[in-house]
Amino acid sequence: MRKWTTSTRQRVLLGLMLAALSAGLLILAFPPFNLWFLVWISFVPYLVAQYWLMPPKMASVASAVFNGLWLWGYLGPVFGGTGSFMAYLPLIVAGISLLVDNGARRFHARTGFRWFVTQGVVIWVGVEMIRIFIPIAGTWGFVAYTLHSQPWLIQPASVFGIFGVSALIILVNYALGLGVLRWWDQRWSCDNDVPIPSPRLVRRWLMIAGITLVLWIGLSLVLILLPAGPTVRVAAIQPAASPIILANQGRETFVAQLHARMVGQTREAAALGAQVIVWPEGALQYDPQVHDPLDLAGLAQETGTYLVIGYVVDVTEDVFRNEATVISPDGVFLGVFGKDHPVLFGGETSPTRGTYPVYETPLGVLGTIICYDLDFTDTARKLARQGAQLIAVPSNDWPGIAHKHYTHVVFRAVENRAAMIKADGGYDSVVVDSRGRVLALAVHPEGGEATLVADVPVESGNSLAARLGDWFGWLCLAGMSFFVLGERWLVKRATG
């Protein structure tokens, strides 16, 4: 077979184009585009660029371009124009990739690509695991979120957590990448130092990826078709604008109008049969247990519903309590949850965090988390371990994340087998059942009112992921550490 030949300049240009193509495919897989199927091949072009096409000394440039561009496309709409240092995160990540991936191609060349797929999976997922311990990162940008609209495919997250879903995506991409590396080398002469993967190795990994994907889908279909429990009608109240933002702007008259309308929305939802009704984060700028000018206790009694109310209270000039309370149908305040993960880069505080109350009700066990808590795996899990079956999520987003933040609700619901009701202050509210099915959704990046009402099955909330935590993420982090610390030993073993 005649091979095509190319110059070094052409190799660099084509390599950069392939890295950019990968970034574009991954961006399109995420909301708002939701071309989720692209995530299964989005890494392949950049892998060909990094591990075959680019000149060896420039191999990590492909990784830098890929990681920098897709993060820019993902985070740009989120932080663009805010002046936040987060807007520069893609550039920082690109720089880290340029340095850290500098020796990756040489390692796989010396070990005959034996560890190519395994290392790719554990390093990607290991980095995701590290990110959940960083307050400014959380699970934002996890590749698993591209599958939020496919509940039939993500049910094993209740066993492996979100990290298992990410691992499956990377496994398929790297196995395909291994095959494309061999296929491309047979057709294009590139005069490089990388030996091609053996046919046996390629077949083995393609078979492993294929079998894993088939077994995963089979397990997912079994889990999603399991009998569901009795249903409860719930509601999320989304005002036309954020009460807390308007209050901070001194627009008290507008806030009063919003409050009056939210009371009306609550009555409308109750008239439709809602028994649990959730208001947004910071809906009130006072503690309704101390000061209740809206007579929310009376509203709960009037409507016969459980009301979940988010509110903020100033403690000092720079410290405020960000909390949620639950009011029972007989007008009793059941307890208080303090936001577990305040947005530190946004100046938030939450001095009452650290307790995770759940409430036994005739409808099921009810718990609350608040907004940014959705972006971490631990808070909802702490409630699920106490038996929470319904988790209310008062939230206060901003336009840039309206198309993205509700996707996190899907995975927290599946991981913990708990229905979730997210009520936002104007942008994106959603009701998701315990299987990750979106039952009601309102996304208004420009702001807009919505009253979401849906029937959610009440399940046990007892999942392996809830009991064992991020066990699969820890496993991949251990694998990542093995490759970082044992690289020389692996090379010596392969070449000695």
pLDDT in tens, 401-452: 999 999 999 999 999 999 999 999 999 999 999 999 999 999 999 999 999 9
The pLDDT value recorded for residue 196 is 79
pLDDT in tens, 198-214: 889 999 999 999 999 99
What percent of the chain has a predicted confidence (pLDDT) above 90?
75
Mean pLDDT over 135-139 rounds to 86
Residue 220, C-beta contacts closer than 8 angstroms, at least 6 positions apart: 152, 153, 154, 155, 156
C-alpha–C-alpha distance, residues 45 and 19, integer Å: 6
User: For the domain 231-458, what is the CATH superfamily, name and number?
Assistant: Carbon-nitrogen hydrolase (3.60.110.10)
> Does the pLDDT at position 280 exceed 50?
yes
> Does the pLDDT at position 281 exceed 60?
yes
Neighbours of 284 (CB within 10 A): 26
The sheet with strand 320-327 has its strands ordered as 333-338, 320-327, 306-314, 276-278, 231-238, 450-457
Range in 71-85, 156-170, 341-355, 437-451 the model is least confident about: 71-85
Q: Token match 């990784």: residue? A: 63
Please give the mean pLDDT across all residues of the chain: 92
The pLDDT value recorded for residue 494 is 83
C-alpha–C-alpha distance, residues 420 and 440, integer Å: 11
Mean pLDDT over 352-369 rounds to 95
Model confidence at 462, pLDDT cuts 50, 70, 90, reads: confident
Mean pLDDT over 4-16 rounds to 79
Q: What angle do CA 491, 494, 496 make, to 5 degrees?
A: 95
The pLDDT value recorded for residue 348 is 75
> Does the pLDDT at position 228 exceed 80?
yes
Model confidence at 345, pLDDT cuts 50, 70, 90, reads: low
The pLDDT value recorded for residue 493 is 87
Model confidence, pTM = 0.94
The pLDDT value recorded for residue 320 is 86
> Does the pLDDT at position 361 exceed 50?
yes
Q: What angle do CA 256, 262, 268 make, to 5 degrees?
A: 145
Task: For the chain, give every domain's residue range.
Answer: 4-226+471-495, 231-458
The alpha carbon torsion through 402, 408, 414, 417 (nearest 10 deg) reads -90
> Does the pLDDT at position 3 exceed 60?
no
Neighbours of 405 (CB within 10 A): 25
> Does the pLDDT at position 43 exceed 60?
yes
pLDDT in tens, 104-133: 988 998 999 999 999 999 999 999 999 999
Mean pLDDT over 315-324 rounds to 86
In b/e form, how buried is each residue of 241-256, taking b as 16+ CB within 10 angstroms? bbbbbbbeeeeeeebe
Model confidence at 2, pLDDT cuts 50, 70, 90, reads: very low
C-alpha–C-alpha distance, residues 489 and 496, integer Å: 10
